[in-house]
Structure 1
Amino acid sequence: MAPPTLPGPDENQDDAQWRTAGERIQTLLEASSSGGAIARERAEKLVREVTDLYGAMLQRMMDVALAEDPGLADRFAADDLVASLLLVHGLHPYDVERRVAAALDNVRPYLGSHGGDVTLLGVADGVVRLQFQGSCKSCPSSSITLELAVEDAVRAAAPEISDIEVVPAESDSGAGVIAPESLLTRVHANGHHWTAWQPAPELAELGDGEVGGFRVPGVMVVACRVGDDVLAYRDRCPSCTGTLAGALLSGAVLRCQNCGAGFDVARAGAGVGGDGHLEPIPVLVRDGVPSMAVPQEVA
């Protein structure tokens, strides 16, 4: 349910600082509005001039570097911060299809935790076409995976795309293309929607086999680490409807201390012996920080 590894609390701190520079620039631009429309326009023009200047410099550096050593393209693309800046200036050494394929490789461990996989069918006219295989097509967590993990990764790798289409496998009974806005239809119908990603750096401190409780805006969450994977679920036992506080982890089975019900955390919280199904909370590393997408009740 999470990427293969999560960094320590101090790892990638500098990268995270620069990845959020865009938000700080936007905040400063909004603050300039207090000086009136003319002040805001001048501030935006200044940002564009500086961006264009550094873009021209980056292009010349890329031309020189790749002419000397074409293998540097792989190193540039592997560095998230460098790659993101190259994307901003349209200088990324890889085409959109290769970038999307690499992004899907990064989220495959998350899909695998739900027993599924994804195939890139192609990219044409700004539309990415995907096909999912395995149990993730039908389990309640699949919509979460599609909407939050796959789309987040694909759009980060290829911000120029206009749409993502999910094509049913040939063996599926359904027909047609699933529009991105309908991916969470079943989850929404159950009375939930998903908020923005919430940073949870404490997740990186969990040791193998450890279980911890975390409070994020409006929701209590139980998280645990199984090997390299950190998995999180809403703090509610579907069997006894009580809290999972004090739950113990044996292998990949989380057992409620109140009623003894067990849940396979490595398989989207599926109940062991018909004990119901935990409600998963997506966990991804964003901007170098472990983060959770938290559900809230829809009024």
Structure 2
Amino acid sequence: MIFIRYKIVLLILTIIFISNFNISPAYSNDDALTFYQKGMELQKYGKYIEAQSYYEKSLRIYQKSNSIEGISANLNNIGLIHSFIGQYDKALLYLIQSLEIKKENNFPPQSIALSLNNIGFIYDSIGEYENAVIFYEEAIKIDRGINDPLDIATDLNNIGAAYNSSGSHEKAIPYLEEALKVFRKLNKMDSISVGLNNLGEVYRTLRIYEKALSLYEEALKIDRGLNLPQNIAIRLNNIGVVYTSINQYEKALYCFEESLKIRRELNIPQDIIQSLNNIGSVYESLGQKDKALSCYEESLKISKELDIPKNTT
């Protein structure tokens, strides 16, 4: 079985917190912002562990100063970190707390819509697609009232992705195409890549492989230009999935191995697991059982260390 990760929804960058982290009283909210921005920059390039230390400092400072905005933002970002490593129950807990703070303190509608989107993404990730669509539709209702084209397109993209995940592939296409059209009009390159990738996944699922491959390759070209290693690895993985589906195993193996190389550098265990499983599957198809077994064993070892299922992606 080939494992594919395709939905990279447009979420804010993330932050982590450890309750017993000590912060000097000399630090100010300006320092918290500096730490936060540094963390965001590291996060952008998939350097989660390095970003984490800056985010921890930022959150503790905001807690000491009782900055509601800072606390809410960090709760949200903790949730997203948990989602990135597959800890969806914890992610949901933090994201809902952040949303409650925003609603109780009359945060701007756009901020509330963002939280609704993030919660929708978690429900999508755990297979609760109806709940995902409920949160996405609540978000798009707010964003239509604000009339922000980028946010509306993001909502459309997310709804389309949820429909595709639920098996309603034909229903997903118009949402994704409309979102991509707006992204192109706004020349929002990272969003264009996301839209291309999600649309490519629909066509891959429908077995229209040539169309899927074209969309994935266009997304990959954009990500290379933006120098986004995590996204590059995802696109390579998805291209490899298409090649596997049409029995072009050598091309698939090349893509999966290139993806794995990047993922090892980024040290994202779940992504490494996915790549190892995919490489193992290709070797199995090629009749190279020993190499396949080696990949599966390494994947299982990492999974046990993380206490997650072997095929979690």
TM-score (norm 1): 0.29
Higher relative contact order (CA 8 A, sep 6+): 1
Larger-gyration structure (1/2):
1
TM-score, L = length of structure 2: 0.28
The structure with more strand, counted as a fraction of residues? 1
Instruction: Judging by fraction of residues, say which structure has more helix.
Output: 2
